[in-house]
Amino acid sequence: MTNYTEFYRRSIEEPDAFWAEQASLIDWKEPFEKVLDYDSPPFARWFVGGVTNLCHNAIDRHIANRADQTALIWVSTETGQEETYSFSDLHAEVQTMAAIILSLGVKKGDRVLIYMPMIPQSVFAMLACSRIGAVHSVVFGGFASSSLASRIEDAKPKLIISADAGCRAGKVIPYKPLLDEALEHVSTRPAKVLIVDRGLAAPSMCEDRDESYTSLRREFLGATVPCEWLESSSPSYTLYTSGTTGTPKAVQRETGGYAVALAASMKHIFCGSPGETFFATSDIGWVVGHSYIVYGPLMAGMGTLLYEGLPTRPDPGIWWRLVEKYKVTAMFSSPTAIRVMKQHENESLFEADLSSLRSLYLAGEPLDAPTGKWIHDALRKPIIDNYWQTESGWPILAVANGVERMNSKFGSPGLPMYGFAVRLIDNETGEQITVPNRKGILIIDGPLPPGCIQTIADDDERFVRTYWSEIHGRYVYSTFDWGVRDEDGYYFILGRADDVINVAGHRLGTREIEESISGHPNVAEVAVVGVSDSLKGQVAVAFITAKDRSAVATGDGASAQKREILKLVERDLGGIARPARVLFVPALPKTRSGKLLRRTIQAICEGREPGNVATIEDPTVLEAIAEAVTAT
């Protein structure tokens, strides 16, 4: 076995040779001429001239050797359904879906927006888009109409694929009315909408625009649709993520580099082999779903488990029973899910036979050491915390047990992964932090390795402005995360340095929530901050000044308005964005130049010293905030 230090060193110092080797993990229709083109930094083009296809690598290339092996397992504890698709079944379903999409006028390079629950057709749709070279843009099904509308507006999709409804905790959540409402608020509408009717909530269909998947599937069953071969840098998909502004960013990824990055990560980090089963408990609307429910495991020839439901229904042992039933070898989940389980530790959680499971991977938010230790003691398997972002597409920090078996440290996601030239810099001076245990901003020297954000769709300028700075003549990418590194080189992540919050592993922009709340007629000003929470990592708390203070002067008046505000957020953005608390205050703390001091508010909420109060225009405002926080 190689030694990881040497493996990593080569990836940074000899990237061409290193990545050329990794590139042999996938199929290429035409070989690449050049490993990396970094002539116009920070834009990197990997495997220039190479021609390939994601869907081919995920499905077609397995047909010769494992057509009958399991590719997709779908379990819905919401509807009580379980389905298994072999590679050959998946091949057929994806071609049928591809034929349907083509018949609706979509061509190579067109965008297709997918707003779907966790059902097999969502996976078919993603793979079908890749197959024909269309660029999918999956919008998380938990988002409501206003979030959906802003993403449709930005993506200008040729086609939207959606379903009648999703289901959560036994409750049917109709998607089609949310989609119809969103479509009323956009300036350019797609010509076609494809609806998968699960029979949960009869959708009202708009004549000429809405098409039924059920009838088109019948028409195109058995269709043969060849893969569209794409140059390596052709976009494979865009995925929206939140940042500092209220406008979400469409992270665009390439084709060849992404395929190589995923195939390499399946080998070196996730240690997956053909015929095994991978179970990522995320959602296809998030990056983990893209990389490790859909593309990564299939590329590795593994079966992937798609789960619709809660971790606690019908009981908190459900995921572990699925591990036993489907002989899951690697599982990928979030710290919040484990903390939820820990609340049920007295309820015979781990009665299933977990002998197939080799490791549990956790990501998306900080894994606190007690939670990491608890699940480690319960499972007696390696717990692999891994840190990354929608932008990176695959882990930036982890341990690469497929290269060299290394110890994890509780509370740390580990070491820089091959290809990522990770460093810490001082937030004020931009100087590199070389001493251990000193906090800084985690940055990555350009070029980013294959598989990472290529640009923000249609906005190269925003991509450069948002993420990159030139330090000592070199482009560096900011993760916007605080971190420290210990004496052994292990990193610890200390949270975001921007206005992004992380609720139960879901990345949310506080500005988006503020914009929704501002829509309430009695809201004058609002500040939303993330406050640490023992279960969800963070929760959103909204501080509001009212236009008409008399309306919120009484307990009943304030409660009524809080209810209206929460309803508004739920309607605009969805339940996940709903603040845990809404507090009316007389004023919000600002600098003399009028900048809202969200961090000061956050410090007060978390019982920390607010720091720099000298810059605050009126420090007495802080007392009222502290009072509001403790009063309820």
Note the residues at the interface with ligand PRX (CB under 6 A): 241, 286-288, 363-367, 385-390, 413, 479, 481, 493, 496, 502, 507
Which CB sits closer to ligand PRX, 360 or 493? 493
Residue 202's alpha-carbon distances to 124, 172, 212, 542, in angstroms, are 22, 11, 12, 36
Shortest Å, Cβ 282 to ligand PRX = 8
Which CB sits closer to ligand PRX, 47 or 292? 292
Which CB sits closer to ligand PRX, 198 or 507? 507
Q: Name the token pair of 125.
A: 């749709």
Shortest Å, Cβ 34 to ligand PRX = 30
What letter represents residue 36's amino acid?
A: L
Beta bridge partners of 231: 51
Report how far Cα 526 is from the mean position of its chain's Cα atoms: 27
How far apart CA 452 and CA 619 sit, in angstroms, is: 43
Residue 539's alpha-carbon distances to 319, 349, 429, 505, in angstroms, are 25, 26, 31, 11
Cβ atoms of residues 62 and 68 within 8 Å: no
For 248-274, b/e burial (b = at least 16 CB within 10 A) is bbbbbbbbbbbbbbbbbbbbbbbbbee
CA gyration radius for the chain? 24
Shortest Å, Cβ 5 to ligand PRX = 22
Shortest Å, Cβ 286 to ligand PRX = 6
Which CB sits closer to ligand PRX, 146 or 408? 408
**Count of CB atoms within 10 A of residue 508's CB?**
23
Which CB sits closer to ligand PRX, 211 or 365? 365
Which CB sits closer to ligand PRX, 120 or 411? 411
Shortest Å, Cβ 181 to ligand PRX = 26
Which CB sits closer to ligand PRX, 271 or 500? 500
How far apart CA 326 and CA 304 sit, in angstroms, is: 10
Q: What number of CA atoms fall less than 13 Å from residue 69's CA on the CB side?
A: 19
Cβ atoms of residues 500 and 507 within 8 Å: yes
Which CB sits closer to ligand PRX, 74 or 387? 387
Which CB sits closer to ligand PRX, 311 or 364? 364
**Count of CB atoms within 10 A of residue 428's CB?**
6
Cβ atoms of residues 532 and 538 within 8 Å: yes
Shortest Å, Cβ 73 to ligand PRX = 22
How far apart CA 159 and CA 511 sit, in angstroms, is: 29
Shortest Å, Cβ 593 to ligand PRX = 28
Beta strands in 309-439 (DSSP E): 328-333, 359-362, 383-385, 397-398, 415-416, 421-425
Which CB sits closer to ligand PRX, 3 or 437? 437
Shortest Å, Cβ 385 to ligand PRX = 5
Written as one string, the DSSP assignment of 572-631 is HT-GGG--SEEEE-S---BBTT--B-HHHHHHHHTT-----GGGBS-THHHHHHHHHHHH
Shortest Å, Cβ 505 to ligand PRX = 7
Shortest Å, Cβ 495 to ligand PRX = 7
Which CB sits closer to ligand PRX, 367 or 513? 367
Shortest Å, Cβ 72 to ligand PRX = 22
Cβ atoms of residues 547 and 618 within 8 Å: no
